[in-house]
Structure 1
């Protein structure tokens, strides 16, 4: 392969890598170390590891039901991406975890399943709008 082709290929690869880093940065992920919001790579996450706004949503689910986005919170979550265990259609419900500085709902959610509205059986957090989830084993502690 010629030197010119090597430079072209290397330049394209470098541009693609830069694009990945920019997109990861936009969503709050550290593309170099893989660190970011919990849920981006892990299977479980403690409440203490989540943003403070997630703890507020958990308290609202377990208690008063006062949500920042009542038109959307507590509504059916279809699991269309198939990232969570397969369950009947009405099993999962989603709640918005507000992101400071955004003027829209953002990407962060808590998804619960089964149980009752105030005592779900399972708890999940996603920081990347359903691309990945971590279970929250201590949500009710």
Structure 2
């Protein structure tokens, strides 16, 4: 029952956002582009992060991706399903995930890089430090 009300609240928030933009004479899509939001209250905002701002381990992982490996974790390079729907929609198999090692972690940790498109390309990659709860597009 709580989920049903939550969905209604999210839908109401989306309708209210669109209505507010409309009543102010604004295009909600233009607002989303100008202010870096998706315009969709269901998704986390996709920001950007420069390679120089990434943790050293993330930059190392990007270099491994560009080189085609070898990867330290068995699951590196597997298809990322985008079930959270936080990344732009594409056909299954478009995105692949890679582990960003976390110092002193006994497992893979929560940090990941997800890249879209052909393998070994790093121009369409996203960084998550919270196990896919949010993403930032990696920019050069």
The answer on 1:77 being equivalent to 2:80 is yes
What is aligned with 1:61? 65
Specify whether residues 100 and 41 from structure 1 end up closer, same or farther in structure 2 by C-alpha distance, changes over 3 A only. farther
Say whether the 8 Å CA contact 2:95–2:114 is kept in structure 1: yes
SS in 2 for 1:93: strand
Larger radius of gyration: 1
Counterpart of 2:55 (choices 51, 54, 70) is 51
Equivalences, count: 97
Cα 1:120–1:46 change in 2 (3 A) is closer
1:121, distance to aligned residue in structure 2 (A)? 4.7
Q: How many Å apart are 1:77 and its aligned residue?
A: 0.2
1:42 Cα offset (Å):
6.1
Over the residues paired in the alignment, what is the CA RMSD in angstroms? 1.7
Structure 1 residues without counterparts, runs of 5 or longer: 1-39
Alignment match of 1:119 (pick from 112, 118, 121) = 121
Length-normalised TM-score, structure 2? 0.65
**1:95 aligned partner:** 98
Q: Tell me how far apart the structure 2 counterparts of residues 136 and 121 of structure 1 sit (CA, whole Å).
A: 8
Structure 1 segments (4+ residues) deviating >6 Å: none
What is the CA-CA distance between 1:53 and the residue it aligns to? 0.2
Post-superposition offset of 1:41: 7.0
Structure 2: 5+ residue stretches without partners: 1-43
Q: Distance in 1 between matches of 2:58 and 2:45?
A: 18
